[in-house]
Structure 1
Amino acid sequence: MRKPQASRRTVLRGAVMLGVGTAVGGGALFTTGIAHAEVPTPEIMDCDGWGAKEPSGELNQLTDNPNKILVHHTQSANVDDTSQQAAIDIAREIQHWHMDENGWSDSGQHFTISRGGYVLEGRHTSLKHLTDGSGMVQGAHAPGQNTSAIGIENQGTYFEVEPPAELWTSLVNFCAYTCQQYGIAATEIYGHRDYVDTDCPGDVLYNKIPQLREEVQKVLDGS
């Protein structure tokens, strides 16, 4: 995001995912382990993999598990370039906006999903906690919920258009994996506007939250 807005937390953008054993610029990449076989393990690029800067300050590590997932949209352009490299470039811009312009200690969201379906760790240590299924790093994506909700940014603006199929599929699978790892019920997936006075995640994406819960539950059920 660039600058905080009255009706929106701020503008975020981007996300990336790499295949197993691949890294960008020599950065480390790892994928999360399978806690329960019924949910496939998503491929996720960690912060080192996309060349994130180190946090400017200490991040608050929490021992309590999150109890919900909050869905956001970046409110950025619905770009046609859905390549991996484009997602990497955007991920770096997000961190620049959050740290250098907003004055935050790191990217505010825990994870981001690009329009091409790539999944990226946002805030440092988010992926380690998710892998372990234990605790979380305090986020900066939703005042009042940063110590209890995993924030997932979805690249694009969804007031009038549907999210791309690649993004939607990744969102469903990633939410299912997150629910499995933390023992979160599929019914505990919400839109940003459910807790904050904002238009995020856009009318179209927000209206798809019930469908998201249903599809996540199907993945959790192994169907």
Structure 2
Amino acid sequence: MWSRRLVLGVLVLPVALLVFGDGAAVHAPRTEPVTGPRPPRGLPQPALVSRHAWHADEELVRERPHYTGAAKALFVHHTGNPNDYDCADAPRLIRAVQSEHVEQDGWDDIGYNFLVDRCGTIYEGRAGGVGRAVLGAHTKGFNTDTVGVAAIGNFGAGAEVPKPMMDALVRLAAWKLRPGADPLGRIDLVSTNDESRFDKGQVARLHVISGHRDSYETRCPGEALYRLLPELRERTAKRRATVPGHSQAARLRPYV
């Protein structure tokens, strides 16, 4: 007859193997769907136009979504479209961006996580769920743990950035950045691609809210929009400071 200690050991062994097996999987790439971390409690998700509503071409999508960590940083882009478009045409413009990203650039889907038009409408970009941490293809070398937002238009020197567009960028950044992120601060991110401004493996100290040009050799998001990033940071910090769960650093800094 087996001793009680031996029986207990036999029963515990499969459980232990399961625990260690699950533990090893932590080191594998995160490709299974996971629920994205929540924004500061009490901060509402802004109104969004879904992929279904802007008629994303789902047949173009080459791979299922991949997921990353909560957004430590947000990168601002522009699409390069002429600025005099009718906002009713924004879905068509976004479909063109999706087609370009997939068919010309060879990506799996549209690269941006979100897009904003000049009337202040926010659109879901890359598939995978607006409330989840979807890995984008927006900022070469720095897609992990970040979110990419594109302003529809061309905001080079002398261009006017519409107030509704800025208002929408504030709402989106305040909601999507992870809890504790300081919109006025900087963050250390590790480059994953030598084609960025930083060698692969190099630590880059970037603004929590950065422009595409901060990490890649490009004029994006255009001089006019880039000059407004300090205002975007200030307004985002102020918005997050109005609800529980915001960054203490953001709370202590005055809004100008």
Q: TM over 0.5, yes or no?
A: yes
Q: Which residue of 1 aligns with 2:168?
A: 170
Distance 1:147 1:77 in 2: 30
Q: Which residue of 2 aligns with 1:28?
A: none
Q: Which has the larger radius of gyration?
A: 2
1:46-77 deviations in Å (ceiling 9; x for gaps): 22222212221233222x22210001111210
Map 1:69-218 to 2 at 5 A.
Answer: 69-82=74-87, 85-129=88-132, 136-159=133-156, 160-179=158-177, 181-187=178-184, 188-218=208-238
1:221 pairs with 229, 233, 241, which one?
A: 241
1:174 partner letter? L
Checking the alignment, whether the CA contact within 8 Å between 1:113 and 1:120 is kept in structure 2 is: yes
Distance 1:197 1:161 in 2: 21
1:148-204 deviations in Å (ceiling 9; x for gaps): 22000001111121211111111111111112x554321211111111111111111
Please state how far the C-alpha of 1:137 moved relative to its aligned partner.
2.0
Q: Which residue of 2 aligns with 1:25?
A: none
1:150 partner letter? V
Distance 2:93 2:174 in 1: 25
1:139 partner letter? G
Distance 2:85 2:63 in 1: 35
Q: 1:184 to 1:46 in 2, by over 3 A?
A: farther
Aligned length: 180
Checking the alignment, whether the CA contact within 8 Å between 1:87 and 1:118 is kept in structure 2 is: no
- SS state at 2:74 partner: strand
2:63 partner letter? G
Distance 1:214 1:34 in 2: 18
Q: Which residue of 2 aligns with 1:15?
A: none
Distance 2:70 2:137 in 1: 16
- SS state at 1:168 partner: helix
Map 1:24-43 to 2 at 5 A.
Answer: 36-37=41-42, 39-43=43-47
- SS state at 1:174 partner: helix
Give me the identity figure in percent.
31
Distance 1:142 1:41 in 2: 24
Checking the alignment, whether the CA contact within 8 Å between 2:40 and 2:240 is kept in structure 1 is: no
Please state how far the C-alpha of 1:35 moved relative to its aligned partner.
5.6
Q: Displaced runs of 4+ in structure 1, greater than 4 A?
A: none
Checking the alignment, whether the CA contact within 8 Å between 1:113 and 1:155 is kept in structure 2 is: yes
Q: Which residue of 2 aligns with 1:59?
A: 65
Distance 2:240 2:54 in 1: 29
Mean Cα displacement is larger for which, 87-96 or 207-216?
87-96
Q: Which residue of 2 aligns with 1:26?
A: none
Distance 2:214 2:159 in 1: 20
Checking the alignment, whether the CA contact within 8 Å between 1:66 and 1:182 is kept in structure 2 is: no
Q: 1:61 to 1:34 in 2, by over 3 A?
A: closer
Structure 1: which 5+ runs fail to align? 1-32, 130-135
